[in-house]
């Protein structure tokens, strides 16, 4: 009897351990109930079909594009032609908490945000292009000069970086509850002539160098557009200079949507799930009860 009980307890322990080992890992929760705020139509939905994305604004849905790998919504899409429109945003829920994802307005570009972004962009462009190493010291001192020039041109470069293409919004399933926002852009931003002109022209002018010299030294740039995130009563502006190759391009131009950038914010801590016994452990305990019941029956019949 003692040996049988020992074997049953061991098998119950092993089975319970197996139940823990093969349990699904904590997964990210996707945004739900996402809807465009207000009545704006200044956005484009891009659906993914294989290795291409294409405009599906008339047929796709916001929730659909937020669930595809490189599908996305471009907010304030008219800014591509220059100038500022009204910000475009969508709001949904992550684990019951509202979150709003928005394009930027001209008013969002404060001196604090602008100098931080320009400084980070200059550091990134030097890191990504060895040809700029001889100019690294001079470039590091250009933050204020370039920011002043950018904000004096209200219909120019800043608007181009203010219309994010958002591909997903998720919250980690662990206790931290970190929130991730996927931004679709260029794996190499210089594939877009507009971006290359902005960086090369501005940098050459600030350094007092011919544009051809800087263009020859600069071959790569990974830079996302900026996104405005409103969550738990706090507004944050996020961007990234580190892309992953999506293996996808936009059908009409052949180079957009090739890079995915991920930005994160702190989420509200998740409530730990209620503890429940593993099914395998319950089966083992049930076996114990049956074993003792059988023993008592035998003793009563003796």
Domain locations in the chain as residue ranges? 2-18+282-301, 30-265
What mean pLDDT is predicted for residues 155-174? 90
pLDDT band for 28, please (50, 70, 90 cuts). confident
Cα distance between the two ends of the chain: 17
256-285 per-position pLDDT tens digit: 999 999 999 999 876 555 555 555 544 454
Q: Quote the distance between the C-alpha of residue 23 and its chain's center.
A: 26
1 has pLDDT over 70: no
Element (H, E) at 229: strand 227-231
State the average pLDDT for the chain: 82
More confident residue, 287 or 243: 243
More confident residue, 34 or 80: 34
Q: What is the pLDDT of residue 268?
A: 84
57-96 per-position pLDDT tens digit: 999 899 999 987 899 999 998 877 767 888 999 999 999 9
Share of the chain above pLDDT 70, in %: 79
Q: Are 18 and 294 in contact (CB under 8 A)?
A: no
114-144 per-position pLDDT tens digit: 999 999 999 999 999 999 999 999 999 999 9
Whole-number Å distance between alpha carbons of 143 and 23? 50
pLDDT band for 155, please (50, 70, 90 cuts). confident
Closest CA relative to residue 1, chosen from 299, 286, 279, 300: 299
More confident residue, 262 or 176: 262
**93 phi/psi in degrees, rounded to 5:** -125, 140
Q: What is the pLDDT of residue 116?
A: 98
Q: What is the pLDDT of residue 83?
A: 74
Cβ atoms within 10 Å of 221's Cβ, excluding its own: 23
More confident residue, 204 or 277: 204
Q: Are 229 and 99 in contact (CB under 8 A)?
A: yes
């Amino acid at each position: 009897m003692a040996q049988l009980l020992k074997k049953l307890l061991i098998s119950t322990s092993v089975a319970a351990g197996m139940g823990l080992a093969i349990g699904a890992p904590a997964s990210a929760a996707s945004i739900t109930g996402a809807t465009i705020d207000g009545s704006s139509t200044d956005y484009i939905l891009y659906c993914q079909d294989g290795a291409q994305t294409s405009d599906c604004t008339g047929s796709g849905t916001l929730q659909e594009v937020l669930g595809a790998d490189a599908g996305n919504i471009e907010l304030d899409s008219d800014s591509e032609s220059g100038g500022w429109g009204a910000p475009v945003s969508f709001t949904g829920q992550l684990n019951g908490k509202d979150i709003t994802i928005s394009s930027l307005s001209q008013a969002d570009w404060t001196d604090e945000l602008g100098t931080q972004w320009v400084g980070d962009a200059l550091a990134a462009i030097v890191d990504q292009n060895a040809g700029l190493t001889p100019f690294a010291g001079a470039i590091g001192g250009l933050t204020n000069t370039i920011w002043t020039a950018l904000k004096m041109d209200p219909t120019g470069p800043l608007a181009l970086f203010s219309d994010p293409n958002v591909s997903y919004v998720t919250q980690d399933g662990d206790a931290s509850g970190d929130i991730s926002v996927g931004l679709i852009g260029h794996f190499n931003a210089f594939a877009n002539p507009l971006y290359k002109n902005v960086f090369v022209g501005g940098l050459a002018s600030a350094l007092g160098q011919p544009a051809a010299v800087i263009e020859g030294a600069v071959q790569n740039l990974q830079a996302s557009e900026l996104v405005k995130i409103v969550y738990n009563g706090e507004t944050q502006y996020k961007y990234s200079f580190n892309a992953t190759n999506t293996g996808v391009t936009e059908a009409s131009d052949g180079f957009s949507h090739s890079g995915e950038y991920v930005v994160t914010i702190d989420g509200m801590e998740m409530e730990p799930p209620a503890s429940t016994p593993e099914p395998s452990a319950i089966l083992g305990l049930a076996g114990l009860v049956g074993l003792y019941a059988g023993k008592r029956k035998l003793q009563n019949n003796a």
